[in-house]
């Protein structure tokens, strides 16, 4: 089953779902979604010397960090990402199921760095 067929099935499901709701407001909300379904997001603009607030969260509110050892390993890996990319971390917050670093880039390499970091 190709992706086009999957898209058509999903679009049909959503159209039926929206139609059954009977609310103009809800129809307007889903109408925009249907028009953009299958379209990739716009390319992220990256700049040398920019500050980025990153955030990543686990599904289903699952914990990322179970203990201090997990937090230390995360920070070691983040440090390795900084060495590879030239990033500087200006601030960070580690929560149980998500994290928030503020990253300053010395090159326009945010996407490549994130791919390495989250894939490690």
**Which ranges of 23-67 would DSSP assign to H, the alpha helix?**
24-36
Please tell me the distance from the alpha carbon of residue 48 to that of residue 11, in angstroms, as a whole number. 40
How high is the pLDDT of residue 44?
Answer: 78
Q: 51-119 in CATH: which number?
A: 3.30.70.1290
SS3 of 48, please?
coil
Average pLDDT, the chain: 82
pTM: 0.64
Report CA 70 to chain centroid distance, whole Å. 21
Quote the CA–CA distance of 102 and 50 in Å, as a whole number. Answer: 10
> Hey, where are the domains in the chain?
3-36, 51-119
**Alpha carbon distances (Å) from 40 to 22, 36, 99:** 29, 9, 25
pLDDT in tens, 35-92: 556 566 677 789 999 999 999 998 888 999 999 999 999 999 999 999 999 999 999 9
């Amino acid at each position: 089953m190709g992706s086009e067929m999957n898209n058509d099935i999903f679009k049909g499901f959503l159209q039926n779902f929206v139609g059954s709701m009977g609310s103009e407001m809800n129809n307007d909300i889903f109408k925009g979604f249907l028009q953009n379904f299958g379209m990739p997001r716009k390319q992220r603009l990256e700049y040398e010397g920019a500050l980025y607030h990153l955030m990543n969260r686990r599904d289903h509110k699952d914990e990322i960090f179970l203990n201090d050892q997990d937090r230390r390993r995360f920070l070691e890996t983040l440090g390795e990402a900084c060495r590879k990319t030239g990033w500087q971390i200006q601030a960070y917050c580690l929560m149980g199921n998500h994290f928030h670093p503020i990253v300053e880039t010395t090159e326009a390499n945010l996407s490549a760095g994130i791919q390495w970091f989250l894939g490690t």
